[in-house]
Amino acid sequence: MWRWGSGMSISQHSGPPKVSLIYDPKVRSIAYQVILCAIIIFLAYSAVRNAIDNLARAHIASGFGFWNQTAGFDISQTLISYTAQGGTYGRAFWIGLLNTLLVAAIGIVLATIVGFLVGIARLSKNFLLARLSAGYVEMIRNVPLLLQLLFWYNAVLKALPDLRDSWSLPGSIYLNNRGFFAPYPIFSSGTELVVAAFVVGVIGALAFGIWARKRQEQTGQQSPVALVSLGLIVGLPIIAFFAAGMPATLEFPEKGRFNIRGGLEILPELVALVIGLTLYTGAFIAEVVRAGIMAVSKGQTEAAGALGLRTGPTLKLVVIPQAMRVIIPPLTNQYLNLTKNSSLAVFVGYPDLVQIFTGTVLNQTGQAVEVVTITMAVYLTISLLTSMTMNWYNSRIALVER
């Protein structure tokens, strides 16, 4: 290698020239960050102190002591056990959180299905289908969600009969304006085997899927993945269930003087909320999907056609995978919106986190600052987790692009 000068090589000072520390960009940026952090910590600390002082001066209770106090109110839907006399505000919080996660999860799955179907239908060559889809999207997007929720709640309640005229099916299945009721299995010991079988089934199905993909890549031969997976995931647990001697009894709903008790119970509030959120978010997802598909160049479809692929496989194998890259980021947004919008639950009487916690608990304890802080932290966490999952998925499919 050619060197500058003779004996005096600058490679001795290969780092940046030695200057005073304040001019060292590295030291500087670290110093800035330390100072910034210190300021933020100081501000946060004094904000909290100030809040505590102010609340004390106004004689408003503060702190988290309320968490373990008896709640004393009833909740209509509890995924974990809860009673008004035994339940605490803390327990009520978890119930609200689970109820929020439940509608969000159901809503996200259903809205995705609706969104993809409608988004694809809107691009369909079938004029009627395309117009209908467009009409649905336009109508839903232009009416405030709250109105839609109230509409669905009243529609659900109006459409369903009174308790005395319940629609019923043999086997103690009832539908009326108090909800949907059906027998529900109560599991006893031996159920572990069924759960284990299910886990094995899922792992087996995944393994088979990977094997089938490899085989197709190598030999071009397709395997009945869907059928085998179904067999493994559903079939195995069923076999295990019988092998374990059927460790479950059914709890049947029973008609009382006013209500139906026992068994599975799905409240009309949940149904109305899910319908409302699904249709609303579904319309937005449909647009996202349509945009994603339109972003895939027409040449791709034509090339697939030239290779002899039919419309279905073209969509599934060529268009959608490429469209996904465009779809995922705005889709994440829609998922976050749906979760946040589920806080309108209180208007249709569904006990979500906001209804139970920032509603009843806040009001009964009066501890607005604590309750609101916790609630914001929860929504932030849910949002961050959703984004993280979607980003991970996004980076995975983005790899395909190279």
Residues that bind other proteins (CB under 8 A): 47-48, 50-51, 54-55, 57-61, 72-76, 84-85, 154, 157-158, 162, 177-178, 256-259, 261, 268-269, 346-349, 351, 355, 358-360, 362-366, 368-369, 372-373
Nearer residue to other proteins within complex by CB, 9 or 70 = 70
User: How would you write 259-294 as a 3-class SS string?
Assistant: CEECCEEECHHHHHHHHHHHHHHHHHHHHHHHHHHH
Nearer residue to other proteins within complex by CB, 191 or 365 = 365
Nearer residue to other proteins within complex by CB, 233 or 275 = 275
Min CB(363)–other proteins separation in Å: 3
Nearer residue to other proteins within complex by CB, 241 or 347 = 347
Structure tokens at 56: 């004390």
Min CB(13)–other proteins separation in Å: 52
Q: Helix 268-295 to helix 89-122 angle, to the nearest 10 degrees?
A: 40
Structure tokens at 98: 């689970």
Nearer residue to other proteins within complex by CB, 258 or 392 = 258
Nearer residue to other proteins within complex by CB, 13 or 57 = 57
Min CB(268)–other proteins separation in Å: 7
Strands 179-182 and 173-176, sheet pairing: antiparallel
Min CB(340)–other proteins separation in Å: 12
Min CB(35)–other proteins separation in Å: 22
Structure tokens at 281: 């978010």
The distance in angstroms from the start CA to the end CA of the chain is 36
Neighbour-count burial of 353, counting CB atoms closer than 10 A to its CB (0-12 exposed, 13-18 middle, 19+ buried):
buried
The DSSP secondary-structure symbol of 254 reads E
Nearer residue to other proteins within complex by CB, 259 or 391 = 259
Structure tokens at 329: 């980021």
Nearer residue to other proteins within complex by CB, 54 or 216 = 54
The closest of 385, 115, 153 to 393, measured between CA atoms, is 385
In this structure, what are the phi and psi dihedrals at residue 169, rounded to the nearest 5 degrees?
-120, 155
Min CB(262)–other proteins separation in Å: 11
In this structure, what are the phi and psi dihedrals at residue 18, rounded to the nearest 5 degrees?
-70, 115
Number of Cβ within a 10 Å radius of residue 392: 9
Min CB(370)–other proteins separation in Å: 9
For 301, residues 6+ apart whose C-beta sits below 8 A from its C-beta are: 314, 318, 319
Nearer residue to other proteins within complex by CB, 328 or 362 = 362
Euclidean distance between CA atoms 56 and 344, whole angstroms = 32
**Helix/strand number for the chain, H first, E second:** 14, 8
Min CB(150)–other proteins separation in Å: 8
Min CB(161)–other proteins separation in Å: 9
**161 alpha-carbon distance from chain centroid:** 32
Min CB(341)–other proteins separation in Å: 13
Nearer residue to other proteins within complex by CB, 132 or 264 = 264
Whether residue 95 contacts residue 356, with contact meaning beta carbons closer than 8 Å, is answered with yes
Euclidean distance between CA atoms 145 and 154, whole angstroms = 14
